[in-house]
Amino acid sequence: MSYSFISPRDEKELKEEISAPGSFTMSGGTDLLVKIRMGKISPQKIVSTSKISTLHFIDENDDEIVIGSTITHAELLEYKPLREAFPVLFDAIYTIGSPQIRNRGTLVGNVMNASPAGDGLLALYLLDAKIEISNGDAVNIDEFVVSPGRTILPKGEYVKSIHIPKSKWDHHYFEKVGQRNSMTISIVSIGWLIKCGSEAIENLRIAFGSVAPTILRLKDVEKFSKGKKIDEKFVHVVSDMVKERVNPIDDVRGSAQYRKKLCSNLMYRMVEEGIKC
């Protein structure tokens, strides 16, 4: 196992380096290095984005927050407006790995890893984030991620940033169920955003992790929820809908049957959280 390691100074140099065959783009390296060590990939060249100053930024305007591709999880947690604007993203990032991992790992890395269990990724699905690619395209997150470990990013291109449109929500929730409490990969993860109308749900978004090849947004459940009141009866119905729509697999962390049960049970958290609308 031997490879060259290159750390371009600007985006032009980056683009040249990553077009070579066998080259892998590295952000924090928290997934890439693990994969190399496990023998899952054998790169000929690793191209690090860490020294490129134009990728290291957080921009904010009235409509959106834009996160550059070398911004780490820890930096995001320290960025005060994030917690106010996107508390669900804050909560999700907070559960990623350990402090050491969060100091290295980036949100863009979490997207590129395209894990069905990706914590930050789940929040980005909920927030309708867009991925800005170096060729100028901006792609919706659910179209960007294709399957475990795969995205539509063309060879020779890289992710410049993530755009998260600002939106107002009354309630947010993120939870991952793992066997242990931290440094864990979820058996199932769940997140939702709720905007209440005067008497009922005005808008709801819901997503699950680790139950399908990608993060799963349940848009028909979202549609169904509009105008409904959150009570036991409502939760009972959506919990059944959820059970039918998730499509988990058996693995070492848990069986498909257990995962299905978890998904539907976690819906009851809506009532337990005391959400009234």
Partner 1 sequence: MNVREERSVATSLSSDKNFDVVNTSVEKIDGYALVKGKPVFTDDFDVPDSLIVKILRSPHAHAIVKNVDASKALELSGVACVLTYKDVPRIAFTRAGQGYPEPSPYDTFVLDKKVRYVGDAVAIVAAESEEIARKALKLIKVEYDVLDNIIDYEHAMDENAPIIHDESEISGAYDPKHNIASHYEMHFGDVDEELSKCDVTTEKTFYTPNQSHAMMEPHAAISYFDANGRLTIITSTQVPYHVRRIIKRIFGVESRVIKPRIGGGFGGKQAVHVEAYVTAVTLKTGRPARCIYTRKETMTASNTRHAMRFKIRVGADKDANLRVIDMQGLSNTGAYGEHALTTFMVAGSKTLPLYNKVNAVRFMGDIVYTNTESAGAFRGYGAPQGAFALDCALDELAHKLGMDPVEFKLKNSIREGETSPVFKVMGEGREGVEQIVGSCKIEECAIEGAKLFNWHEKRERQRIEGTKAHGYGVAFAMQGSSIPAIDMGGATIKMNDDGTFNLMIGATDLGTGSDTILAQIAAEALHTSVGKFVVYSSDTDVTPFDKGAYASSTTYVSGNATKRAAERMAREILKAASEITGESVEKLHLENGKVISKSGKSLTYSEIQTQLFYTFKQRQLEVTESFVSEVSPPPYMVTFAEIEIDLETGKVDVMSMLNYVDCGTPINPLLARGQVEGASSQGIGMALYEEHIFDKNGRMVTDDFFTYKVPSRDDIKKITVKFADSYEPTGPFGAKSVSEIGLDTPGPVIANAIFDAVGIRVNRLPIKSEDLYFKLNERGLTP
The residues of the shown chain that bind partner 1, judged by CB under 8 A, are 1-2, 34, 38, 177, 179-185, 187, 252, 254-255, 258, 261-262, 265-266, 268-269, 272
> Of 99 and 197, which CB lies nearer to partner 1 in the complex structure?
99
Closest approach of Cβ 133 to partner 1, in Å?
30
> Of 134 and 186, which CB lies nearer to partner 1 in the complex structure?
186
> Of 61 and 252, which CB lies nearer to partner 1 in the complex structure?
252
Closest approach of Cβ 3 to partner 1, in Å?
12
Closest approach of Cβ 206 to partner 1, in Å?
16
> Of 2 and 198, which CB lies nearer to partner 1 in the complex structure?
2
> Of 3 and 79, which CB lies nearer to partner 1 in the complex structure?
3
The token pair at 167 is 């939106």
> Of 8 and 28, which CB lies nearer to partner 1 in the complex structure?
28
Closest approach of Cβ 180 to partner 1, in Å?
5
Closest approach of Cβ 77 to partner 1, in Å?
17
Closest approach of Cβ 54 to partner 1, in Å?
34
CB 30 within 8 A of CB 166: no
